[in-house]
Chains A and B, each alone.
Chain A
Amino acid sequence: MFNSQEIISTIEMVKNEHLDVRAVTLGISLFDCISHDLDVFKNNIRSKIIKNASNLVSMCDAVGEKYGISVVNKRISISPVALVGAPFSASQMVEIALTLNDIAREVNIDFLGGFSALVEKGIANGDRALIEALPEALARTQRICASVNVASTRSGINMDAVLDISRAIKKAAALSAADDGLACAKLCVFANIPQDMPFMAGAYLGVGEADAVINVGVSGPGVVKKAIERGLENSPGLGLGEIAEIIKNTACKVTRVGELIGREVAKNLNIRFGVVDLSLAPTPTVGDSIGEIFQTLGLTSIGVPGSTAALAMLNDAVKKGGAFASSHVGGLSGAFIPVSEDLNIAEAAAGGYLTIEKLEAMTCVCSVGLDMVPVPGDISEETLAGIIVDEMAIGMINNKTTATRIIPVPGKKAGDKVSFGGLLGEAAIMNVPHATNRDTFLTRGGRIPAPIHSLKN
């Protein structure tokens, strides 16, 4: 039996506060599909993915219907293609991407992640072929997401890879110029990439994972915002410790919902349940925004002084609440601050409250990094590499995941509007000071050594 408050608050979380399960991602290992023959490999991956994923969408919909909580995105992550497709050339890697795109369409999945390489310490043949294939693979597909891990706390930063990937980003932008560089929105560059993340564009299935696994990404910035608002209405003098407690309690509830749904989907599909990624992931919808939480907390806008502290508190409270709710927490787990995907953050950037430098500072305390940041199309490869390596350094030194998803928009300059459509949202292009510099530090190559605190053994 439930009391009236329990019933009302649950229904309001779903109906008015955008509580949903943001992603149920089916991880599929492709290591048993490996072949030196491209056609055999393509057939193997098709059979394996379709065998595991053919009921994913219908099952997620059925479970979502049962609980009245929609599973917004159903997705697939696969073993890194640079590993399972290591014998193949760049042009063959593009063929693999096209095949994966067809498979994703066949199983009705909007994004399939894992066109990935792990190159934090060195670039193997498969990695090189994949990175070379990235621009064409991303420009010619709609559903394939790619990621490249170029740094880790244990290995340092592979500057050769950073520069290679900067060139690939510029080329991918040029190949998708008609869509404002959309191909780059499907490519994440990482430090300390998690192996079990359900969120795109960075999702892939790590090498230490099971043959198939269900990982769940929960969201709920709207629910957190409303909970803070209710707390402040009832007690306008709430201190920050008490607000953090509200966020923690709310994150706990949201995480439990994700785990309930994920476990039931996994059980019904007879697939192992992996982790809950308890991230606050916004959408370009009013009321489903991380940026709005900053205003509820009492800041003029995300980006003004105080924002980094507010984000630190938010990120930590989300982790604490989620960790209590689930014993299997993984992925990124924290707060995302993607510029174009969050209407309020996009407005803060367009309105001059949020600069790229402040955004970088904030990524020191949030769960991802410079996410969905449109930059001027004439940005140099070196400056792009500089932005990426700065973000990687934050991750490497602080022993955390950081990432960049930067979109150079061909033919456009700072302040111009750009729209990527759907969940990818729209934003004004952010100003990048000294965007056309070609500083030699960024082209020296080699590796930035791992930091002293990597020496743990």
Chain B
Amino acid sequence: MNKIIITVLGKDRPGIIASVSKSLYQMDCNLQNVNQMILQNQFAGFFIVDHPADLAIDNIHHQLEKDLEGQNLKIHADVVENKANGNNKVNEEIFLFTTIGPDQKGLVARFTEIIASYNVNVTNLTAIFKGGDEPTANIMSYQIAITSDTDQAGLFQSLRQKAAELGLDISIQHKNIFETINKI
């Protein structure tokens, strides 16, 4: 079996996952991991799939497009690299840094530029709105993977400095504190 990732994007409605998984099942593919999210009314689904060796990725893509025709979904298929070629997670520690303050253009770009300059990976990025019209209720939360090679103090100082420039309140905390408080 070979592994591919299929991405499905489009306006959310009932039955998208059912249609995709049925099509894959009929091609004798095996779902390994599935994740989905809905941003406002837009659906994004990710399917990591084992497929028979004699079934080419282009054929799978083509069959999916055919089976999902008329549903106005964008489908993408790609080969998943072996783990050995992926990120090295040895000694990796996840920190959450969260900014709270007025929404402004370019927030994500400015912070992720700093993170990238320290060669640090963002493993999750969430924009949270606490609700209401409160302009300071905009919260951006980044999960970043710090390794033993990272200049942690320098990165945190740069992030804090940028937050101060932008008038944002910032918290940087190891993920275990969130797990400790919330995952009992």
- Chain A residues with CB under 8 Å of chain B are 1-2, 4, 6-11, 13-15, 66-69, 252-253, 256-257, 260, 325
Contacts and interface: CB of A to CB of B under 8 A. Distances in A.
B172 A68 contact: yes
Interface string B126-152: 101010000000010101000000000
Given A67-B173, A67-B176, A11 B98 contact: yes
A68 B176 contact: no
A144 B182 CA distance: 38
Interface in B51-96: 96
B100 A256 contact: no
29 contacts: A2-B141, A2-B175, A2-B182, A6-B178, A6-B181, A6-B182, A7-B141, A9-B181, A10-B173, A10-B181, A11-B171, A13-B181, A14-B173, A15-B171, A66-B173, A67-B173, A67-B176, A67-B177, A68-B172, A68-B173, A69-B173, A69-B177, A253-B182, A256-B180, A256-B184, A257-B177, A257-B180, A257-B181, A260-B177
Contacts of A10: 173, 177-178, 181-182
Contacts of A6: 178, 181-182
A8 B177 contact: no
Interface in B87-132: 96, 98, 100, 124, 126, 128, 130
Contact of A256 (B124, B139, B143, B181): B181
A260 B181 CA distance: 10
A68 B177 contact: yes
Contact of B98 (A1, A7, A256): A7
Given A2-B96, A67-B173, A7 B178 contact: yes
B22 interface: no
A8 B178 CA distance: 10
Interface residues of B, number: 23
A2 B180 contact: no
**Which 7 A-B residue pairings sit nearest by Cβ, starting from the closest?**
A68-B173, A4-B128, A6-B182, A67-B177, A256-B180, A260-B180, A253-B181
Contacts of A252: 184
Contacts of A13: 181
Contacts of B181: 6, 9-10, 13, 253, 256-257
B161 to A, nearest CB: 16
Nearest to A258: B180
A338 B168 CA distance: 37
Contacts of A1: 124, 143
A4 B126 contact: yes
Contacts of A67: 173-174, 176-177
Given A14-B171, A68-B173, 15 more contacts: A2-B175, A6-B178, A7-B126, A7-B128, A7-B141, A8-B130, A10-B178, A15-B171, A66-B173, A66-B174, A67-B176, A253-B184, A256-B181, A257-B177, A325-B184
Contacts of B130: 8
Contacts of A69: 173, 177
Nearest to B156: A65
A66 to B, nearest CB: 5
Interface of B: 96, 98, 100, 124, 126, 128, 130, 139, 141, 143, 169, 171-178, 180-182, 184
Contacts of A8: 128, 130, 139
Contacts of A2: 96, 141, 175, 178, 182
Contacts of B175: 2
Contacts of B128: 4, 7-8
A9 B96 CA distance: 14
A252 B184 CA distance: 9
A10 B141 CA distance: 12
B100 to A, nearest CB: 7
A68 B169 CA distance: 13
Contacts of B126: 4, 7
B136 to A, nearest CB: 13
A12 to B, nearest CB: 10
B151 to A, nearest CB: 15
A68 B105 CA distance: 27
B88 to A, nearest CB: 21
Nearest to A68: B173
Contacts of A4: 126, 128, 139, 141
Nearest to A4: B128
**Residue in B98, B124, B174, B177 with the greatest tally of chain A CB atoms within 10 Å:** B177
Nearest to A15: B171
A14 B143 CA distance: 18
A147 to B, nearest CB: 32
A64 to B, nearest CB: 10
A238 B175 CA distance: 33
The listed residue with most B CB atoms (<10 A of its CB), out of A2, A256, A260, is A2
Nearest to A69: B177
B174 A7 contact: no
A7 B139 contact: yes
B168 to A, nearest CB: 13
A256 B175 CA distance: 14
A11 B130 CA distance: 13
B7 to A, nearest CB: 18
Contacts of A11: 98, 100, 171
B175 to A, nearest CB: 8
B38 to A, nearest CB: 14
